[in-house]
Amino acid sequence: MTNNREPQRSRIGIFDSGVGGLTVLRELYRQLPNESVLYFADTARLPYGMRSSGEISQFCFEILTWMVQQDVKMVVMACNTSDALAREALCREFNIPILGLIVPGARAAVAQGTRFGVIATPATAASNAYRRALLEFEPNAKVWQVGCPEFVPLVEQNRLHDPYTAEVARQYLTPLLEQRIDTLIYGCTHYPHLAPVLREILPSSVVLVDPASHVVTTTAQELDLMGLKNSRSPLPTRFCVSGCPQQFAQLAVQWLGCTPVVEKIHLPTVSHPSVPI
Ligand code: DGL
């Protein structure tokens, strides 16, 4: 619970549809080791990347409502799809800082090259959010976005080392390699889990940009600015899911290095002001 007298000690809320957000959590442990975290994975409803913008906005609205009830001091959307489709509206509706990956990721990427490939969920690719952000920082940028519908299910089924995953990856990357990209952005937080497979296919000259590390740098700046950084020891991370807790724990152990304690929670049913349900 929040300590109203000491808001610094409240948790940061991090959410994703599944284990993708662990790539952000991993960075947060590295860069902000004193922060306490509430991690939520909406595993009952993944993948988000195949859903409509109305559904994604509704899910995010429910998650934010619940996270605010849990007294988080800030929310990091560890899901590009939610960032692309819902963040702007959420920032208008909730009175806490809500950070997304796309702007920090694009800002970091333009320092690396000029020919950008973006691999993302179909919903993120169709939204053009990365193209817009990259062009804002570098008007001469060339951007190619590819929707990769099979990646999230393959990661969530733990098929990282399956030859089929490598075959699918080759198909997604081929059009980008034909355009001679110099920089590849992970436009979905699940994809850094596929780094060994992707690195095998990409020429070594292609720089990989993971927005996770950059959103955490932005989080650190925001905490400083708002006087919300925790300087005491953190609480253990609280992991919550909407689906099966055991399944999440078994999958997550390989990235967390220990088996997490996972709670199943029911999100409050709330109606989003701009989405009829
Ligand atoms: N990891 C999320 C993202 O960054 C979405 C995955 C999904 O499709 O559920 O976009």
**Which pLDDT score is estimated for 271?**
77
Distance 3 CA to ligand 1 centre (A): 32
Distance 157 CA to ligand 1 centre (A): 14
Query: Tokens 């990365």 label which residue?
Result: 130
For residues 90 and 101, what is the distance between their CA atoms, to the nearest angstrom? 15
**Which pLDDT score is estimated for 269?**
84
Helix (H) or strand (E) holding 148: none
Categorize the per-residue pLDDT at 276 as very low, low, confident or very high, splitting at 50, 70 and 90: very low
**Which pLDDT score is estimated for 74?**
98
Answer yes or no: is pLDDT of 2 > 60: no
**Which pLDDT score is estimated for 277?**
43
- Arithmetic mean of pLDDT, 41-65: 97
Dihedral class, residue 216 (left if φ above 0, else alpha if ψ from -120 to 50, else beta) = alpha
* Phi and psi at residue 149, to the nearest 5°: -60, -25
**Domains of the chain, CATH where assigned:** 7-100+213-264 (3.40.50.1860), 103-210 (3.40.50.1860)
Catalytic residue positions?
79, 188
Nearest-5° Cα angle at 121, 116 to 126: 75
With the most atoms of ligand 1 within 8 angstroms of its CB, the residue from 45, 188, 193, 214 to mutate is 188
Answer yes or no: is pLDDT of 261 > 60: yes
Distance 17 CA to ligand 1 centre (A): 6
